Amino acid sequence: MDTKRLILFVVFSFSILLLWDTWQRKHVPVSEVASQQDASVPSSQKLNTSDAKTISPDSNFKLETASRIKVLTDLYQIEIDTAGGDIRRLLLNNHLADNGQDKFLLLDDAQKPLLYVAQSGLIGNDLPTHKSMFTSEKTNYVLESGQNHLDVKLNYKNQDVEVVKIISFDRDSYQIGVRYEITNHSKLAITPSAYFQLLHDDESNQGTSLAPTFTGGAYYTEADKFKKINFKDMKKRDLSLISVDGWVGVIQHYFASAWILPVNQKREFYTKQVADNIYSSGVLTQLSSIQPGEKKKFSTKLYSGPQIKEQLEKAAPGLTYSVDYGWLTFIASPLFVVLNWIYKLVNNWGSAIILLTVLIKLLFYPLSAASYKSMAQLRELAPRLQSMKEKFGDDKVKFQQAMLELYRTEKINPMGGCLPILIQIPVFISLYWVLMGAVELRHAPFILWITDLSLKDPYYVLPIIMGISMIVQTKLNPAPTDPMQAKLMMIMPVVFSIFFFFFPAGLVLYWVINNLLSILQQWMINRSIHAAALAKKGNAARK
């Protein structure tokens, strides 16, 4: 295999791996997980008839509305509807919308087309569900300066029970507390169940045809680890999974929402189709019995916000997997840790990407050197190979035999550059997903015209530089003996440049720096090998 075929093989392999990884991330069959159960939980803990009726789809789906309670914290602008106590609208103060001007709208009930609502309710003995009407003493709540905690209280009461639903917020936290205080005024004991779910449409936040992204359900348990469920699979089959740990929610590019129950609380994760294009992802749990005259509390929490690693780690085990790096998570996660550490030193994500690229290049320097040495040796043989090709003409068998003999004589392994490059491919793919998935790079400026590293270069400067660097690399490599290969190698930089026109600037920045460092390393090795070859010729002439 000559050098040009080697390069084509590596590029092809990288592309296939990247496409396969993308396909796996977007196609997770729910049939593999829909009937699984945690062996430590009795299989009898299933949705009973009344439970199923409460949270199952209605033939005529409609979100009830009443009065709105507005909540302002350091991180959120939220609207809670007294119908069910749902969180109907949630804006993130520290994250901008795609237009770069408005606050990012994560939850909303407008259905234009986004419908994304957090619901919760109780089941049994006329307890309030997500359709019941609550009352509130206030319509506006503000987390004041110097205040670290805020409670929003909703009240429900009938002749048998009194329920206070408390939605709480803490400063610097994307965890929203939800607590039920249930007082039994009846003459009989009650055994309520509680459910917590997220409704989402199947149209919004799907990315573009050029850069599709996953938006759908997800859950995590210690037994099954992280699983994604797309809306098409929800339509085909309901999920029903029994566990004693984990979370369930909805994830999308850069953001996530998840219901997180207390540890060791028995639960059933479920997904259901609510309407033609609306689906629920939720969890049901049975609460302890409440005797007449007794009051009991049950608390859980909702994470709803950006996929910031530190915040996800604090919220729940396994929630960091919502930043989905695919099958190379074990490489990608440490890479992001290093990238984040560098950022804290330099306070610029573009500079952090450059420094991380340098570190990776230093780490793989010996492997790259072996590859470039092999290419440099082949480059020195290029004139002799061309003469041999002209000598043997169309007799490809004799040409191949003579070429292999030449390699053997000069002690050159033409495959010497293959393995070092292939070993680095998983790292390149991992870094690709890190840069594609890091919410920290969203709207993060670098320098001058690059104001958002998560978007394409608006003036295509970086892709053009990358294309030029690829041309320089081609010139440093041995010239192919096949004219068709020579033309192909000249076209590739142009094709790759156009391809990278649509990639995030942060990713293209990595490739540009990597190419420039590769050019420097290859030039130095070429120079060294060429000097050695000249010295060898001089010694041979003197003899």
| Alpha-carbon separation of residue 287 from 176, 182, 219, 241 (angstroms) | 20, 11, 21, 18
Indicate the residue type of 484.
M
Residues 351 and 493 in one domain: yes
Residues 410 and 355 in one domain: yes
* DSSP state, residue 190: B
pLDDT in tens, 130-141: 999 999 999 999
Least confident window among 12-21, 30-39, 445-454: 30-39
Looking at residues 527-542, what average pLDDT do you find?
61
102-105 contacts: CB < 8 A, separation 24 or more?
103/77, 104/255
Taking residue 515's Cβ as centre, other Cβ atoms within 10 Å add up to 19
Residues 416 and 461 in one domain: yes
- Residue 333 is assigned to a structural domain of this protein: no
pLDDT in tens, 484-498: 666 666 777 777 777
Do residues 316 and 258 touch, judged by C-beta distance below 8 A?
yes
- Residue 120 is assigned to a structural domain of this protein: yes
pLDDT at 125: 77
Q: How far apart are CA 525 and CA 359, in angstroms?
A: 20
Q: How far apart are CA 368 and CA 416, in angstroms?
A: 10
Is the pLDDT confidence value at 287 over 90? Answer: yes
Residues 257 and 355 in one domain: no
Residues 508 and 469 in one domain: yes
Q: pLDDT band for 87, please (50, 70, 90 cuts).
A: very high
Q: Which token pair is 163?
A: 């329920």
517-520 contacts: CB < 8 A, separation 24 or more?
517/357, 517/358, 517/361, 518/361, 518/368, 518/372, 518/473, 519/469, 519/472, 519/473, 519/476
Residues 266 and 355 in one domain: no
- Residue 202 is assigned to a structural domain of this protein: yes
Looking at residues 417-430, what average pLDDT do you find?
71
Sign of the torsion angle spanned by Cα atoms 512, 513, 514, 515: positive
- Residue 335 is assigned to a structural domain of this protein: no
Residues 58 and 135 in one domain: yes
Q: Which token pair is 332?
A: 């990608």
Q: Please give the residue that has the higher pLDDT: either 452 or 53.
A: 452
What b/e readout covers 344-358, taking b as 16+ CB neighbours within 10 angstroms?
eeeebbbbbbbbbbe
CB within 8 Å of 256: residues ≥ 6 apart? 218, 249, 250, 303, 304, 305, 307, 312, 319, 322
Residues 315 and 167 in one domain: yes
- Residue 332 is assigned to a structural domain of this protein: no
Q: Note down the domain range covering 392.
A: 3-18+342-538
Do residues 376 and 522 touch, judged by C-beta distance below 8 A?
yes
Residues 302 and 167 in one domain: yes
Residues 154 and 266 in one domain: yes
Quickly list H helices, 262-348.
309-315, 329-346
DSSP-derived 3-state class of residue 38: coil
pLDDT in tens, 150-194: 999 999 999 999 999 999 999 999 999 999 999 999 999 999 999
Taking residue 496's Cβ as centre, other Cβ atoms within 10 Å add up to 16
- C-alpha dihedral, 33 to 38 to 41 to 45, nearest 10°: 0
Q: Please give the residue that has the higher pLDDT: either 337 or 9.
A: 337
Q: How far apart are CA 70 and CA 88, in angstroms?
A: 10
- Residue 337 is assigned to a structural domain of this protein: no
- Residue 380 is assigned to a structural domain of this protein: yes
Q: How far apart are CA 380 and CA 534, in angstroms?
A: 10
CATH code: domain of residue 106: 2.70.98.90
pLDDT at 484: 67
pLDDT in tens, 92-147: 999 998 877 899 999 999 888 889 999 999 998 789 999 999 999 999 999 999 99
| Alpha-carbon separation of residue 265 from 41, 240, 245 (angstroms) | 10, 16, 7
- β-bridge mates for residue 194, sequence order: 122, 285
Among the candidates 260, 292, 322, a domain finishes at 322
Overall number of domains in the chain: 2
Q: How far apart are CA 320 and CA 309, in angstroms?
A: 6
Instruction: Look over the chain and give the mean of its residue pLDDT values, rounded to a whole number.
Output: 81
- Residue 24 is assigned to a structural domain of this protein: no
pLDDT at 457: 87
Query: Which run of H or E residues covers position 536?
Result: helix 505-542
What b/e readout covers 450-476, taking b as 16+ CB neighbours within 10 angstroms?
bebbbbbbeebebbbbbbebbbbbbeb
Residues 304 and 430 in one domain: no
Quickly list H helices, 207-328.
231-236, 309-315
DSSP-derived 3-state class of residue 100: coil
* DSSP state, residue 130: T
Q: Which token pair is 490?
A: 């000249």
Give the residue from 85, 36, 52 showing the smallest Cα distance to 272: 52
